Amino acid sequence: MSTTRSSVTPISENAFDIARRQFDIAADLLHLDSNLRAVLRNCKRELTVNFPVKMDDGSIRVFQGYRVQHNIARGPAKGGLRFHPSVSLDEVRALAMWMTWKCAVVGIPFGGAKGGVICDPKRLSTSELENLTRRFATEISLLIGPDRDIPAPDVNTSPQIMSWFMDTYSMAVGHSVPAVVTGKPQSVGGSEGRMEATARGAVDVIQEFAKQRQFTLNGARVVIQGFGNVGSPLASFLQNLGCRVVGVAEENGAIYNPRGFDASRLRLYKRETGSIVGFNGSDPVYPVGVLELPCDILIPAALEGQITQRNADRIKARLVVEAANGPTTPEADAILGERGVVVVPDILCNAGGVTVSYFEWVQDLQSFFWDEDEVNQRLQKVMSRAYQSVARTADDHNVSLRTAAHILAISRVADATRTRGIFP
Ligand code: GLU
């Protein structure tokens, strides 16, 4: 299998190690006792599967995939499925842990999980992708269920893939179970507003931040790394607020225009050509360099491990908004902090996706569906409340927004664990 390396491929830092170091910083400040620390530093369940998939040419290929549940103290496990060549067990563990904190930060009643398959979906036909999804769904079904563990989209997984997942699970149990997965198309129980939810939630947080810290959004220059499910709608939302999107990067190239792009035309161009490269009025730039372009707001919206000690001192933005999970290493956090660059952390900033996933799950369980305005209003309420709590915690403890978000999340999960007690 090909493993094309690109600018948005994570570098050598181990994501799980990073997630644990972030945990330790907050746990120290919380004086968390060593027993709870041991429980929360580890993932509760880890399943590795090697499974065969029938390819179009008649051959059989074996893929490796994972489903990891980090913690279920506050509710069923929740988190996306990622299809990418760089997926690894440690990456999935880190992403599962971050899901636990993310759900706790925004106060939705889920624990954290994540799944992934090592594959390059761009090199699979639609039927191969469907075969892979259905077989993977079957393999991990011993952990999955609407009140146990509810997957969702993540990198390279779509509403169609969620629909195949839901159908496979439903066929096995003999009736439709829409609440087993979120991020589905609306025709099979998906929620209004789920597609743009991560981007919308990030904008809600950016607006709260701007209001509180007198950060002017009108005219602010924005650079976005990643132009997929999150980065692409985010560009439009920010443009509507008066921001200028001056740089965009993707796996296969990056573009720059200091005067700013028309986000909706760029999205259309990508839909038509499959890429942002060559967009009218843009200069090509190296994707690696895009993070260092002059701008006010830098938004990593691709993979983890992008802002490290190697490039943190060259970041020109005043504000880093983590639409991706885990884009900044702890070393880079320290460098950015010293330089006065504010980082709005992933577990707060990109929680809009799982929040509307929660709304979707609730709607599926009740078979009662809300209109888009209701979804967006409820989302806005959740995100702004979460931002306020994190900002207050940051002030109280005199720490970064990331550490504050971890303090808040870890104390909520620790509290649930203590209250339930350790059995037997
Ligand atoms: N994959 C998204 C995330 O990382 C959404 C997860 C979900 O909706 O369960 O937050």
Rounded Cα–Cα distance for residues 276 and 273 (Å): 8
Q: How confident is the model at residue 338 (pLDDT cuts 50, 70, 90)?
A: very high
- Ligand 1, residue 358: give the atom nearest the CA: 8
Ligand 1 binding pocket mutation candidate from 184, 198, 304, 358 (most atoms within 8 A of CB): 198
Determine the distance separating the centroid of ligand 1 and the alpha carbon of 225, expressed in angstroms: 18
Strand-strand pairing, 111-118 and 81-84: parallel
pLDDT of res. 13:
82
- Ligand 1, residue 182: give the atom nearest the CA: 8
Ligand 1 binding pocket mutation candidate from 87, 91, 102, 154 (most atoms within 8 A of CB): 154
Residue range 399-407: mean pLDDT, rounded = 98
44 is catalytic: no
Residue range 353-379: mean pLDDT, rounded = 98
Q: Is 226 in the pocket of ligand 1 (CB under 6 A)?
A: no
The pLDDT mean for the chain works out to 96
Question: What domains can be seen in the chain, in order of their start residue?
Answer: 43-188 (3.40.50.10860), 197-349 (3.40.50.720)
Rounded Cα–Cα distance for residues 27 and 410 (Å): 7
**Does pLDDT of 12 surpass 70?**
no
Instruction: Tell me the per-residue pLDDT of 199-217, one tens digit each, with 9 for 90 and over.
Output: 999 999 999 999 999 999 9
Rounded Cα–Cα distance for residues 172 and 315 (Å): 50
Q: How confident is the model at residue 8 (pLDDT cuts 50, 70, 90)?
A: very low
Long-range pairs of 367-374 with CB within 8 A, sequence gap ≥ 24: 369/191, 369/192, 370/191, 370/192, 371/192, 372/192, 372/193
**Does pLDDT of 6 surpass 70?**
no
pLDDT of res. 9:
45
